[in-house]
Chains A and B, each alone.
Chain A
Amino acid sequence: MSAAFSANAGPTDAELAKMKLQYQRPETVPFPKDNPFSQAKVDLGHKLFFDPRLSGTSTMSCASCHNPGLSWGDGLATGVGSAANKLGRRSPTILNLAWAESLMWDGRAGSLEEQATGPIEAKVEMNQSMPRLLTTLGDIPGYRAAFQVAFPGEPISAKTIAKAIATFERTVVSGQAPFDRWIEGDEKAIDDAAKRGFVTFNTKANCSACHSGWRFTDDSFHDIGLTDGDLGKGKLVPGVEPLLHAFKTPGLRNIAGRAPYMHNGSVTTMATVVRHYSDGFVQRPSLSPEVYKLKLTENEIHDLVAFLKTLTSTDATIAVPVLPISEVN
């Protein structure tokens, strides 16, 4: 047993090794059969994602709310759309969605392709009309060429736009974090507090019941006892009690860069998140049975936060692409 755990009866080396095994990163990114990977689609999707001309007033791109500098979120409690419209929920990160089972806080979109054109046409978000966007893109020679290379023989359409954006999004994967180097065997990659936090995360604090696997999510929906009135997935699927106030478990990769937290941005720091699970949640029939009073000590809270901080990668920054220029007439 390593010195890090000797203070309290921690796991044996074998138990720790087994715990660590669940967090190994995959080596490849999955792409669906009906929209396989191609570099041309990634390049096109990259441009579209960052292009404000996708919005009705040419002022807002996907990256306005999913900003690579803010762990692909926007750092706001809830999103702000066209004409300063406040959205009802926080802008989630788009990291590691190639592996997601469903999208949006309430899971209402089944695939990245299905999701991609939603925000473009939503009045409260980018407020663009699809026919108008198709004309705009078709008038830009650089886009005409890029669509031809990515989708030979197909017209520029909502479908090809969605496929390109989705393919780009699948390549947005969080990079190696100190935690990954530790999982691979570098004992110096993270400090003892973080190592103790990892054990607490997997044992007493029960976090891994929901934040499981290398992305730290079970892709499931749970009510963790936040007090706002948003019914989450329960609004879409009536008659299923555990779905009331239930939201998709967010992955925890690069979590330190994504405050404020939760679907409504109501929790400002990682320590407050941990305190919420310790004893800050409301009891109600829909509350997940995996959420219960943890009675965490101040040291355990400190260690859990130290551990969460090791999940942040220093990714090569994704460049803001050079966008094709509109024809001057």
Chain B
Amino acid sequence: MSTRTWIVAIGLCAFVTASGAYAAAALVSQKGKIFTPDELTQGSGSTLRIDNDDTIPHNVQVTTPDGENRNMGMQKPGEFADVVLDKSGDFMVRCGIHPKMKLVIHAR
């Protein structure tokens, strides 16, 4: 819980220093084979950073609102994936190794 608050705080800083432009901020964490949070709303046009805070590798795969599949490759523990929200609508994210891991990003 406290870690989450901290990550959000950093996110806001990045936002401010980038003077209005959207900067990638880690808003989603992969830990214990789940995405936390597993649903969130973000500005379309922004970039969402997904951290791997786990002890095992993950493979973020994104389906865009118009059905395009984007494989973000492997994220080892400590690495991250930047998901560009270049459309409006729902981006569905799943781990290619552990398909039970699911995340929905509402981009508006």
Contacts and interface: CB of A to CB of B under 8 A. Distances in A.
Interface in B64-106: 71, 73-74, 96-100
Contact of A240 (B56, B74, B99, B100): B74
A106 B59 CA distance: 15
B88 to A, nearest CB: 23
B74 A107 contact: no
Contacts of A241: 57, 74
Contact size range, A = 10 to 19
Contacts of B100: 101, 218-220
A125 B57 CA distance: 36
B96 A243 contact: yes
**Most chain A CB atoms below 10 A, which of B59, B96, B100:** B96
A261 interface: no
Contacts of A233: 96
Interface string A183-224: 000000000000000000000000000000000001111000
A246 interface: yes
B67 to A, nearest CB: 12
B97 A242 contact: yes
Interface string A232-275: 01000111111100100000000000000000000000000000
A289 interface: yes
A238 B73 CA distance: 8
A102 interface: yes
Chain A interface, DSSP helix/strand/loop, else mixed: loop
Contacts of A102: 99
Contacts of A221: 96-98
A237 B99 contact: no
A240 B71 CA distance: 9
Nearest to A102: B99
Nearest to A221: B97
B71 A237 contact: yes
Interface in B10-39: none
Given A239-B74, A241-B74, A246 B98 contact: no
Contacts of B98: 218-221
A237 B59 contact: yes
Nearest to A239: B73
B23 to A, nearest CB: 26
Contacts of A242: 57, 59, 74, 97
Contacts of A243: 59, 96-97
Interface in A79-116: 101-102, 107
A219 B57 CA distance: 16
Contacts of A239: 71, 73-74
Contact of B99 (A220, A238, A289): A220
Contacts of A246: 97
A246 B95 CA distance: 14
B80 to A, nearest CB: 15
Contacts of A101: 99-100
Contacts of B56: 289
A233 B95 CA distance: 13
Contacts of A238: 71
Interface in B34-71: 56-57, 59, 61, 71
A33 to B, nearest CB: 15
Contacts of B74: 239-242
A241 B56 CA distance: 12
Query: Which 7 residue pairs of A and B lie closest in terms of their CB atoms, listed nearest first?
Result: A101-B99, A240-B74, A220-B98, A240-B59, A239-B73, A102-B99, A237-B96
Interface of B: 56-57, 59, 61, 71, 73-74, 96-100
Interface of A: 101-102, 107, 218-221, 233, 237-243, 246, 289
6 contacts: A107-B99, A218-B98, A237-B59, A237-B61, A242-B57, A242-B74
Given A237-B61, A241-B74, A246-B97, 9 more contacts: A218-B100, A219-B99, A220-B100, A237-B71, A239-B71, A242-B59, A242-B74, A243-B96, A289-B56
